[in-house]
């Protein structure tokens, strides 16, 4: 198994890897509830690979991603509706978490392209391209594929805008990619922003107000950690809590499975990493956790959700106390 860099001359490496895929269909898939980064990168990669490539989500993508698929008139086929043959190749985008890639049980992908940091337990592939310094998988694919067609540029730009939290988590490379893609897309940034934003539904707004009753806030030094239980839309409510003044927010939801969404304010970037916290909490839930430094999630069983929220607070406190000169020590708990 080769872990290939995306620095230096990544586009040559990408062309070499992609051209080595088997002669059958190329099945492009991604994590459950695919977001704009997953779907945007899938659209661009499919257009690069041509007619052999099929986009095969494991389930229904989220609302902004479905909006992108409709806007670009991109067809998809559910993964479980495909009958894979030995000649087919499988490419996984934007995740290596086995819990989020349940549809790949017993299948070893030919290639994984992902920007999430690895903490152990990820699925393996014949070849992997990983760059945790990238804001998104779409950012990686821009430098790998150098697309010029309008649809690919719009798809990649939407993924970058979304996964960088509208450039809050951007690097100079992110802005370089976004600037080139915006110029080639033929759209204004306000048009791109409107495509990236899915209007808050009535259900989201009602659930956010109802969930306020369950909010608990705890002071850790000069910082506030908020926890809550929600019946749905936990990611949205975690964002709301940070906008209301929490430095760190964890919102749990007991749906078909237990889920926790975590958010951190920009002021704590480099001090608290919720992707590491969610990775640990995913184990407590009997599932998995991953994400980004400032936004992450975990899922698994529903039985230990409240205890898991307590562990979230404890791990946040340990990260705050363990920070020395902006270097985060290993979590021990």
Phi, psi for residue 91 in degrees, rounded to 5:
-115, 130
Residue 329 resides in a domain: no
What is the reported pTM?
Answer: 0.75
Q: Are residues 77 and 160 in the same domain?
A: yes
The mean per-residue pLDDT over the stretch 172-177 comes to 96
310 or 270, higher pLDDT: 310
- Asked whether residue 288 is domain-assigned, the answer is yes
User: What pLDDT score does 211 carry?
Assistant: 77
Establish if 84 belongs to a structural domain.
Answer: yes
Q: What pLDDT shows up at residue 241?
A: 92
Same domain for 146 and 51: yes
Q: What is the mean pLDDT of residues 182-194?
A: 91
**Domain shared by 45 and 108, yes or no:** yes
Q: What is the pLDDT of residues 1-59, one digit of tens each?
A: 344 433 333 467 677 777 778 778 999 999 988 999 999 999 999 999 988 999 999 99
**What is the predicted pLDDT for the residue at 278?**
92
Kindly report, residue by residue over 249-304, the tens digit of the pLDDT: 999 998 778 999 999 998 898 889 998 999 999 989 988 888 778 888 898 888 88
Q: How far apart are alpha carbons 226 and 308 in whole angstroms?
A: 13
Nearest residue to 151 via CA among 196, 173, 180, 184: 184
Please, what's the b/e burial string for 151-178 (b: 16 or more CB within 10 A of its CB; e: otherwise)?
bbbbbbbbbbbbbbbeeebbeebbeebb
- Asked whether residue 208 falls in the same domain as residue 191, the answer is no
Banded model confidence at residue 102, pLDDT cuts 50, 70, 90 = confident
Q: Which among 196, 224, 253 is the end of a domain? A: 196
Residue 207, in any domain of the structure: yes
Q: Note the pLDDT of residue 327.
A: 45
pLDDT of residue 9: 39
pLDDT, tens digit, 9 for 90 and up, residues 137-170: 999 999 999 998 999 999 999 999 998 888 888 8
| Nearest residue to 251 (alpha-carbon basis) of 243, 289, 165, 259 | 259
Q: What is the pLDDT of residue 169?
A: 81
Same domain, 185 and 268: no
Q: Which residue has the higher pLDDT, 91 or 105?
A: 91
Question: Averaged over 195-208, what is the pLDDT?
Answer: 73
Which 3-state string (H, E, C) describes 188-247? CHHHHHHHHCCCCCHHHHHHHHHHHHHCEEEEECCEEEEEEEECCCHHHHHHHHHHHCCC
CB of 289 closer than 8 Å to CB of 296: yes
> Using CA atoms, how far apart are residues 49 and 46, in angstroms rounded to an integer?
5
Tokens, residue 107? 């299948």
In this structure, the answer to whether residues 21 and 116 fall within a common structural domain is yes
Within a domain: 330:
no
- 332 found inside a domain: no
Give the integer Cα–Cα distance in Å for 38 and 88. 21
Range of the domain at 144: 2-196
* Position with higher pLDDT, 124 vs 332: 124
- Report the domain count for the chain: 2
Q: What is the mean pLDDT of the chain?
A: 86
Higher pLDDT, 7 or 118: 118
Q: What CATH number is given to the structural domain containing 249? A: 3.10.310.40
- Residue 73 pLDDT more than 50? yes
Of the residues 196, 218, 251, which one is the last residue of a structural domain? 196
Contacts of 250 (CB under 8 A, 6+ apart): 225, 226, 227, 228, 238, 260, 261, 262, 309, 312, 313
Which of 171, 196, 221 represents a domain boundary (last residue)?
196
Domain assignment present for 331: no
Shared domain check, 214 and 189 = no
């Amino acid at each position: 198994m080769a872990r290939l860099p995306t620095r230096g001359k990544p586009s040559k490496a990408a062309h070499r890897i992609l051209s080595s895929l088997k002669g059958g269909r190329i099945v492009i898939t991604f994590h459950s509830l695919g977001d704009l980064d997953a779907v945007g990168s899938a659209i661009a990669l499919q257009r690069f690979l041509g007619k052999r490539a099929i986009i095969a989500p494991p389930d229904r993508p989220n609302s902004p991603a479905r909006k992108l698929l409709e806007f670009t008139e991109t067809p998809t086929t559910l993964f479980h509706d495909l009958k894979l043959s030995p000649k087919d190749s499988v490419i996984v985008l934007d995740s290596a978490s086995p819990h989020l890639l349940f549809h790949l049980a017993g299948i070893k992908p030919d290639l994984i392209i992902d920007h999430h940091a690895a903490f152990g337990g990820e699925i393996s592939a014949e070849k992997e391209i990983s760059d945790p310094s990238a804001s998104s998988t779409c950012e990686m694919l821009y430098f790998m594929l150098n697309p010029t067609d309008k649809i690919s540029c719009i798809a990649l730009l939407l993924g970058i805008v979304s996964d960088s939290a509208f450039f809050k988590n951007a690097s100079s490379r992110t802005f370089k990619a976004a600037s080139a893609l915006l110029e080639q897309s033929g759209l204004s940034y306000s048009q791109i922003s409107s495509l990236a934003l899915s209007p808050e539904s009535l259900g989201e707004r009602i659930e956010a107000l109802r969930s306020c009753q369950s909010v608990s806030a705890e002071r850790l030094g000069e910082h506030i950690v908020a926890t809550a239980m929600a019946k749905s839309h936990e990611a949205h409510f975690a964002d709301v809590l940070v906008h209301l003044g929490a430095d760190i927010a964890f919102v749990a939801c007991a749906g078909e499975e237990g889920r926790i969404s975590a958010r951190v304010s920009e002021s704590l970037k480099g001090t608290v990493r919720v992707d590491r916290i969610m990775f640990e909490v995913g184990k407590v839930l009997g599932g998995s956790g991953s994400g980004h430094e400032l936004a992450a999630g975990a899922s698994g069983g529903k039985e230990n959700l409240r205890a898991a929220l307590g562990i979230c607070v404890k791990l946040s406190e340990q990260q705050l106390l363990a920070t020395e000169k902006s270097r985060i020590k290993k979590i021990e708990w």
